[in-house]
Structure 1
Amino acid sequence: MLAAIGLSAALALGVAPGIAFSDDVDTLFEQGTTALKKGDAKTAYEKLSAAWQSRQSVDIAANLAIAEKRLGKNREAAEHLAYAIAYFPPSGEPSARKEMETMLAELKKGLCELRIKTEEGATVHIDDKPVGLAPINLPVYLEPGKHNFAAEKGSSKGSVTLHFQAGDSNNVVITMTITQSSAAPSATASAPPTATGTATNGPPPDEPPPKWPGFVIGGLGFVGVAIGGGLMGASAAASTEAEDMAAGLSRCPTESPTGACGELADKVDSENTLHNAGLGTVVAGSVLLATGVALIIWSYSADDAPADEQPAATGRFIPLADPTFMGLSYEATF
């Protein structure tokens, strides 16, 4: 048996002379190996596990693996054997190493041997149980089936779930990615400020239309009508003068008139110019005046109407013409 070929002696496995266990660890180790020789695997497991928690060494790992194998803890036994073999000292007994390798090979037939690969310094978990910090130098042994592997380092995380069969030997690569997570508010965080004032539902009501555009446009229109009326009045006076002048003349040439005929021609031209200018100014002024009046009526009617019932102003221009007059009429609804 492995326990009977010197694993209980520190020097037999090549632990450097001068590096001694503490009294507690040394006592636990001695009690564990004694129980193991007597066939009391349960007591040996308890004592050697306690020693292993305080100090990881080749001889503790090897003897603990024997106790675990007898208790059916094959996964734990394989991991402790892998540790003992990996760090077996050159001065140790070759036969002891050979026996551990044989025992590990037998255990691996019913387990999965996995090597974890991920970002250095990441904390590794297998099935939500911590394994250690990467790099994980030694193989990890698991029971056959589905297992989850996770790694975390700062804001980088990664996980993968794989299924293995007995006897598998694989590398498990955990790819890390940076995750953005919102920090949860702490219990001591201050409460959000309380809003004050009157709550309103929906968007704020529309502002009533301003009144000044209607007055400005209407005022310009009124001035335009007045000017146009003055021009047309001047045109009428010129027409009267032309008629009086024409009454005193019997006949005038149509081309290059001179004298009294020339004055009559100038008067007729002045009449036509004043008439056309006045008519155009009156039409433009009427349009502006009607638009201003429409805007004024609309702005005042909107003051008293609810926001969703405010009247919509519409309008159109209607041309007017007869043999003696031309103009526009503006029709509006409110």
Structure 2
Amino acid sequence: MPNSPTDAAPATSRAGERAAQLYREGNRFYDEARFAEAEARYQAAWDLQQSFDVAGNLGNVELEVNQPREAAEHLLYALNTFPLGEKAEKKSFLQKRLAVARSQVGALRISVNVDDAEVLVDGKVVGHSPLDTQVFVDPGKRTIEARRAGARTSTSLLVARGSDQSIALSLDSGPSIPLVVAGGAVGLLGLASGVTFAILSTAKGESAATEPFGSERRTDLRDAQTTLANVSFWSFLGGGVVLAGTALYAFSTSSRPPVTKAGLPRLYAAPFVSAEANGLLLGASF
């Protein structure tokens, strides 16, 4: 890389022009063995415009100033974005320098059981799951953490020079939102049915009271009143049990991050009238 620097750097914008200037200054300082100044110029160019050549030169000089972790990151980026048509010698140079950097640091392959979890190493965010590349860390005790929507998990491990370890973190996937909503919907529909049938039962009782004692009409109305009252009772009971169970499930998992993105159920209610009874038709579609 710096021993055969590429002078070409796109300058289609002010930032691009400034990055190209910093890149050339970095090459000059490198040739003069002024590595700290070269590293500063390459880093500034990288902050403005990320490209394989800047990453390669930055990673190479970071090795010279004893920053192997950063060097490994930038050298790997340079190799992952190495363009077709570039010289094979340059790629070989980058591979050798990456091998030197990796021998001084540890590599972690971190996986999390849910997507879009924030992944941290020693409190510093290194990306979001799923991580598509390995994470380089300094040797020693490291703390790996994942967190999402209030839930978090972490683990600590000792990292040796040149090691390559796989770390699997597991966050509780949390309550199923469709299940909570469906349970709440069914419970509320049960209570609504209880109210409806209680009103109908009362109406039947009032109608029966206006009929003569012993009449067939009065008997039929009292029977309908009893039936509707029973339906109302069981609707209240069933709805209450479902709501209680749903609430217990929701509260017991309230600190867990919801990951299900399924659509919510739709509720419907429609009155019905027949020769036998009047009522309210309640339901839900999923």
Q: 1:302-321 deviations in whole A, cap 9, x for unaligned?
A: xxxxxxxxxxxxxxxxxxxx
Cα 1:136–1:37 change in 2 (3 A) is farther
Against the structure 1 CA distance between its residues 19 and 107, is the aligned structure 2 distance closer, same or farther, given a 3 Å change threshold? same
Give the structure 2 partner of residue 126 of structure 1: 121
State the 1:18 CA deviation.
Answer: 7.5
Partner of 2:95: 101
**Letter of the 1:143 counterpart:** D
The answer on whether the counterparts of 1:64 and 1:77 sit within 8 Å (CA) in structure 2 is yes
Amino acid at match of 1:6: P
Structure 1 residues 176 and 8: CA distance shift in structure 2, 3 A: farther
Q: Secondary structure at the match of 1:135?
A: coil
Q: Which residue of 2 aligns with 1:165?
A: 160
Tell me the C-alpha RMSD between the 2 structures.
2.4
**Contact 2:5–2:27 at 8 Å: present in 1 too?**
no
Give yes or no for the alignment of 1:89 onto 2:83: yes
**1:69 partner amino acid:** L
Q: Indicate conservation of the 8 Å contact 1:146/1:164, yes or no.
A: yes
Question: Is residue 79 of structure 2 the alignment partner of residue 80 of structure 1?
Answer: no
Name which of 59, 64, 82 aligns with 2:53.
59
Q: Which runs of 5+ in 2 are unaligned?
A: 176-286
Say whether the 8 Å CA contact 1:158–1:177 is kept in structure 2: no
Distance 1:33 1:136, change over 3 A: farther
Q: What secondary structure does 1:91 align onto?
A: coil
Q: What is the aligned partner in structure 2 of residue 4 from structure 1?
A: 3
Using the aligned pairs only, state the percent identity: 26
Q: Map Cα deviations across residues 56-87 of structure 1 (whole Å, 9 max, x no partner).
A: 21011101112211101111111110111111
Cα distance in 2 between the residues matched to 1:50 and 1:135: 29
The one-letter amino acid paired with 2:84 is: P
Secondary structure of the residue aligned to 1:72 is coil
**CA distance, structure 2, for counterparts of residue 143 and residue 60 of structure 1:** 23
- Structure 1, residues 204-232: CA drift from partner, whole Å, max 9, x if none? xxxxxxxxxxxxxxxxxxxxxxxxxxxxx
Judging changes above 3 Å, is the alpha-carbon distance between structure 1 residues 113 and 19 closer, same or farther for their aligned structure 2 residues?
Answer: farther
Q: Count residues with an aligned counterpart.
A: 174
Displacement after TM superposition at 1:28 (Å): 1.6
Which whole-Å CA distance do the structure 1 matches of 2:147 and 2:12 have between them?
A: 39
TM-score, normalization by structure 2: 0.56
Structure 1 gaps, min length 5: 181-334
